[in-house]
Structure 1
């Protein structure tokens, strides 16, 4: 069971991550997003659906079984509880999840096209493979949740998925890591769209991931 101080820390981490997404300019015009942070094996914190100016007191505590345990959620937010809980169930090491309608990434979702990994920030921040597409289903529906679960099973190392005709879902060990990956994916999607006008993107050479990891290790040592 997570103690109160840990829960407070995770709430502040979500608030900080939300602010950084707006500062990075990767949010949609509406500012729609939802963020969550795992508290323990059965509970997580969940934000409302619009997170501009998010405050810790706006976060609700919900169970992986879908029950609202503390706080309040609008009906539109309750639809996405299962979207988060399915990831926490499938990935025990995931500590935070971010869903956005980031414009360039959402363009790939609308096109039902996986986003290739062709930019170094994606390698550095945890997505050393294409971002796969989950087939469309109404938000929070059994169809949508089963689709997410299926892709996570088939792609055990992906840290993000595109929700067809909807948006982006990213997960990581904590809110800061998930936020960095959202930014990296949105920048990569923008670059892919721009590169298409001048002949298209080019894949990394063989061994790129290993080279990046070695570079990181040298700096850290």
Structure 2
């Protein structure tokens, strides 16, 4: 695959993932989000500062050092390059990162409360544990990035974090899978808040993850 073909393919995947988030109804009123995809060890594709109606040609190519190599970024996106790059450095297997202000998940971030894994979609789509909270720091600052790197080191199997007083950050093998997990986490946060009104959510029984994986294997084998 040529570099141009790979870039175009990743760009289309990001545009499709952004559209799927709006279709699923998991975005904040503002529609704020930023999405990226790994191109190689030095570069990533990043949304330019808006995602509603995102087209592949709108994306910018940036280096992990923050340099814009192709396209253009608004300052609102330039601030968060370090946040995305920190995930790619900590997780070599990650191919995409999505940040949203999804309302229910952000409620947990504002409350500084980890989101438990109590819904089956979270098990199925890659977050078989609670979503931890990263301590607050100014957006894109060294404090924020160091805090996130520390949580990623402490929680090597998490595929998402809540950014305190800010929002949700999710990462996965590709844009589509990452968007699926965003939806699963937002739906789970909504369910947790609703369940609180009728006595509170209940944990899965022991062995639930293994049972779900066995069920998936039976269908896909």
With the shorter chain as reference, the TM-score category is: over 0.9
Pairs within 5 Å for 1:106-117: 106-117=106-117
Q: Report the alpha carbon displacement of residue 198 of structure 1 after superposing the two structures with TM.
A: 0.5
Task: Give the SS at the match of 1:36.
Answer: strand
State how far apart, in whole Å, the 2-side matches of 1:216 and 1:45 are: 32
CA distance change for structure 1 residues 139 and 2 in 2, over 3 Å: closer, same or farther? Answer: farther
State how far apart, in whole Å, the 2-side matches of 1:2 and 1:14 are: 18
State how far apart, in whole Å, the 2-side matches of 1:106 and 1:76 are: 19
Alpha-carbon displacement from aligned partner over 1:66-86 (angstroms, at most 9, x marks no partner): 111111001111100001000
Match of 1:207 in 2: 207
Match of 1:96 in 2: 96
Q: Is the contact between residue 2 and residue 39 of structure 1 (CA under 8 Å) also seen in structure 2?
A: no
Q: Report the alpha carbon displacement of residue 2 of structure 1 after superposing the two structures with TM.
A: 6.2
Moved over 3 A (4+): none
Per the normalisation by structure 1, the TM-score is 0.99
State how far apart, in whole Å, the 1-side matches of 2:48 and 2:97 are: 13
Alpha-carbon displacement from aligned partner over 1:62-115 (angstroms, at most 9, x marks no partner): 111111111100111110000100000010000000000000000000000000
Per the normalisation by structure 2, the TM-score is 0.99
Match of 1:136 in 2: 136
State how far apart, in whole Å, the 1-side matches of 2:154 and 2:114 are: 14
Match of 2:16 in 1: 16
State how far apart, in whole Å, the 2-side matches of 1:97 and 1:129 are: 18
State how far apart, in whole Å, the 2-side matches of 1:148 and 1:62 are: 20
Unaligned ranges ≥5, structure 2: none
Give the number of aligned pairs. Answer: 221
Match of 2:63 in 1: 63
Pairs within 5 Å for 1:1-221: 3-221=3-221
Unaligned ranges ≥5, structure 1: none
